[in-house]
Amino acid sequence: MGMILSLLGLGTGLTIIDHNSDKKLVGVIALCIVTVLTFVASFSIGLGPITWVYSPEIIPLRLRAQGMSLAVATNCVTGGVLGMTFLSLYKAITIGGTFFLFAGVATLSWIFFYNFLPETQGRTLEEMEIIFGKKEEEKIHGQLQLGTTAATTPICNENGKK
């Protein structure tokens, strides 16, 4: 919520500055600086660490390396896309409009996280695995699956008998 309010405040301040370029607006500039600092603080305790904290808690142990690789890659690609498209957005919809757009995306993100991602505090990894999906304990066609040990797989001789 702090990110959303900060982005709305920054969008408002930058829109005011954009429309009044001939006057010195010290109060509005101060508002913009405060909202940027508030945004950074809110991001640092909210969405910022999600990739590093929440993802390993919800990804099953047998898929954690692959899942974290995907989460980190998505995080980096998203940051790159944001950085590369910022100037184009600014030119297309003004600087204030860009931050209002970001506030809208942050609002949608907040609604999604609040409604679809459960709290993990105080839960074990086994409980998280039950919440996010069933454990795959079955063997498919007698093949050894990822996350199982050879000791749990029946050993057959060349005639196919155990």
Give 147's pLDDT tier (boundaries 50, 70, 90): low
SS3 133: coil
At 16, list the tokens: 């005011």
| Residue 26 within a domain | yes
| Angle value at C-alpha 95, between 93 and 96, nearest 5 degrees | 90
| Residue 62 within a domain | yes
Q: Write out pLDDT tens, residues 7-45.
A: 999 999 999 998 886 778 899 999 999 999 999 999 999
pLDDT at position 46: 86
Q: Please tell me what DSSP assigns to residue 155.
A: P
Burial of 157 (0-12, 13-18, 19+ CB in 10 A): exposed
Highest mean pLDDT among 6-15, 52-61, 145-154 belongs to 6-15
Report, as an integer, the average pLDDT of 53-66.
Answer: 84
| Residue 50 within a domain | yes
* pTM of this structure: 0.71
pLDDT at position 61: 81
| Residue 10 within a domain | yes
pLDDT at position 111: 94
| Residue 87 within a domain | yes
| Residue 77 within a domain | yes
DSSP letters for 59-114: S-GGGHHHHHHHHHHHHHHHHHHHHHHHHHHHHHH-HHHHHHHHHHHHHHHHHHHH
| Residue 148 within a domain | no
Q: What is the CATH number of the domain that holds 16?
A: 1.20.1250.20
Q: Write out pLDDT tens, residues 84-131.
A: 999 999 999 999 999 999 999 999 999 998 888 777 777 777 777 777
By residue range, what is the domain housing residue 85? Answer: 2-133
Domain count of the fold of the chain: 1
161: pLDDT strictly greater than 60? no
The single-letter code of the amino acid at 1 is M
